[in-house]
Amino acid sequence: MLVAERGAARNTLLAYRADLEDFAASVKAASAADSADLQDYLARLAGSGLSPRTQARRLSALRQFFVFLLREGVREDDPTRLLDAPRIGRALPKYLSEQEVDALLEAARSHKRDVLMRAALEILYATGLRVSELLALPRTALAGDAMMLLIRGKGERERIVPLSDAARDAAAALAGKKGRYLFPGRDPAQALTRQGFALMLKEVALAAGLDPARVSPHVLRHSFASHMLARGADLRSLQMLLGHADIATTQIYTHVLAERLQKLVEAHHPLALATKRG
């Protein structure tokens, strides 16, 4: 069902399988488990020291499993319906300042694969792509004077994202290369791996004087979103650019909106102005 109806990615399938196998190992028959079995299982997870986030993810997998059984007529009830999920504090997304991104882009010029890294970073920061989406780009994605990129994201959902002049110019330097992918690996017939790109990004971060632990492709995606909101973009547009299926996912960036609104009030509210004059 996850493959046929949801188009789930391989890593998602592996995660669901691991979670369900862990549950199946703790009960006599997973599909026949009742609410007491599930409560005991969740209590064991909590007692084993697993983080609330991991516990919640496993409960989510179980909820979807039992809803599937209910819809297929295998069961007549959903034993997860009344279970409470562990409370999870929502971490704010980590992102770089605009000055730090500028330093990263400048440092890419001195990297041994400077053309590739400059183009990759310009596109990541200009579009907010996931690293998997970036590395899957075919060489033909920027054929001619392409102003937009057609991206196939999670669940095979397609979206169009605009490309900045700087990103397009940086990527144009790759046009003369051979191979199927815009960002090829050591074997030109294969795309650069995520691990290989992450390693080069760490090298660029060091050259830029940044802590490599703070820099990753996903941090650049967060930086794109945070900087867009700080400069006036709205959540709905950002949702479309990032390829989020649900705007609730995009709302993790509302901390930026809160900061912007606070500055707006301080700059324009009559009482705030009166306080400044006083």
Q: Is 130 a catalytic residue?
A: yes
Could you give the C-alpha distances from 117 to 3, 163, 216, in angstroms and in order?
Answer: 34, 17, 13
Q: Which of 58, 221, 222, 227 is catalytic?
A: 221
pLDDT tens string 216-246: 999 999 999 999 988 888 889 999 999 998 8
Query: For position 265, what pLDDT does the model report?
Result: 73
Name the pLDDT band for 115 (thresholds 50, 70, 90): very high
Rounded to an integer, the average pLDDT of 158-166 is: 90
Helices (H), 153-253: 165-172, 194-207, 217-230, 235-242, 247-250
Does this model's pTM top 0.95? My answer is no
Ranges of each domain in the chain:
10-71, 98-261
What's the pLDDT tens digit per position in 23-69? 999 888 888 999 899 999 988 988 888 888 888 889 899 999 999 99
Of 57, 118, 130, 227, which is the active-site residue? 130
- 202 has catalytic annotation: no
Q: Which residue has the higher pLDDT, 262 or 252?
A: 252
d(CA 45, CA 52): 9
CATH number of 98-261: 1.10.443.10
User: Which candidate in 118, 168, 227, 244 is catalytic?
Assistant: 244
Residue 75 · residue 162 · CB < 8 Å: no
Residue type, 167: A
What's the CA gap between 101 and 106, in Å, rounded? 9
Catalytic residue among 75, 154, 159, 202: 154
Residue 53 CA to residue 46 CA, distance in Å, equals 11
* pLDDT value, residue 196: 94
221 in active site:
yes
- Is residue 177 flagged as an active site residue? no
CA atoms within 13 A on the CB side of 204: 30
Token digits of residue 256: 């930026």
